[in-house]
Amino acid sequence: MPRNPRHLRSFISPYKLTGFQLHRQYCTGRTAISQFLNSLTSLIRRPQHHHNLHRHGQRIKAFTTPQDLNQFIRSKMADAEYEPGTEEAAKAFLKLQEKLQTDLETQQRAQELVLNIQDIRASISAAKAGAGTHRRGGDEVVLIAVSKLKPASDIVALHATGGQTHFGENYVQELWKKHAILPSTISWHFIGSLQSSAVSKLAKIENLYAVHSIDSVKKVLALNRLRPDGFPILNVFVQVNTSGEKSKSGVDPDGDDLWDIVGVIRKECPKLRLMGLMTIGAIARSQAAKEGEENEDFARLVKVAEGLEQRIESEEGEKVELKLSMGMSDDFPGAITMGAGYVRVGSSIFGARPSKAEASI
Ligand X SMILES: *Cc1c(COP(=O)(O)O)cnc(C)c1O
Exposed, middle or buried: residue 275 (CB in 10 Å: 0-12, 13-18, 19+)? Answer: buried
| Shortest CB 15 distance to ligand X, Å | 34
Q: Could you say which of 114, 191, 277, 340 contacts ligand X (CB under 6 A)? A: 191
C-beta closer to ligand X: residue 333 or 346:
346
Residue 182, sorted as left (phi over 0), alpha (psi -120 to 50) or beta, turns out to be: beta
Q: Which stretch binds ligand X (CB under 6 A): 56-64, 109-117, 265-273, 343-351?
A: 343-351
Sequence-ordered strand ranges (E) for the chain: 15-17, 51-55, 58-63, 142-146, 166-169, 187-190, 208-214, 234-239, 272-278, 323-325, 342-345
346 binds ligand X (CB under 6 A): yes
347 binds ligand X (CB under 6 A): yes
Residue 163, sorted as left (phi over 0), alpha (psi -120 to 50) or beta, turns out to be: left
Residue number of the CB closest to ligand X reads 346
328 binds ligand X (CB under 6 A): yes
Site for ligand X in 70-129 (CB under 6 A): none
210 binds ligand X (CB under 6 A): no
Q: Taking a C-beta distance cutoff of 8 angstroms, is the pair 89, 181 a contact?
A: yes
Q: Which stretch binds ligand X (CB under 6 A): 58-66, 94-102, 174-182, 344-352?
A: 344-352
C-beta closer to ligand X: residue 40 or 205:
205
| Shortest CB 112 distance to ligand X, Å | 16
Which residue(s) pair with 54 in the sheet? 16, 59
Q: Which stretch binds ligand X (CB under 6 A): 16-24, 60-68, 307-315, 324-332?
A: 324-332
Q: Taking a C-beta distance cutoff of 8 angstroms, is the pair 305, 322 a contact?
A: yes
345 binds ligand X (CB under 6 A): yes
Sequence-ordered strand ranges (E) for 258-356: 272-278, 323-325, 342-345
236 binds ligand X (CB under 6 A): no
First CA to last CA distance, the chain: 15
C-beta closer to ligand X: residue 300 or 344:
344
Site for ligand X in 127-156 (CB under 6 A): 146, 148
C-beta closer to ligand X: residue 12 or 155:
155
Residue partners of 307: CB distance under 8 A and separation at least 6: none
Site for ligand X in 151-190 (CB under 6 A): 170
| Shortest CB 351 distance to ligand X, Å | 9
Sheet with 51-55, side-by-side order of all strands: 15-17, 51-55, 58-63
214 binds ligand X (CB under 6 A): no
C-beta closer to ligand X: residue 87 or 330:
330
Q: Which stretch binds ligand X (CB under 6 A): 42-50, 83-91, 296-304, 339-347?
A: 339-347
CA distances from 178 to 60, 299, 324 (A): 27, 35, 26
Q: Taking a C-beta distance cutoff of 8 angstroms, is the pair 89, 326 a contact?
A: no
Q: Could you say which of 299, 329, 351, 359 contacts ligand X (CB under 6 A)? A: 329
CA distances from 48 to 63, 65, 309, 314 (A): 12, 11, 66, 70
Task: Measure the CA–CA gap between 215 and 218, rounded to whole angstroms.
Answer: 9
202 binds ligand X (CB under 6 A): no
Which residue(s) pair with 188 in the sheet? 167, 208
Q: How many residues bind ligand X (CB under 6 A)?
A: 12
Question: Which residues sit at the interface with ligand X, rule CB under 6 A?
Answer: 146, 148, 170, 191, 280, 328-330, 344-347
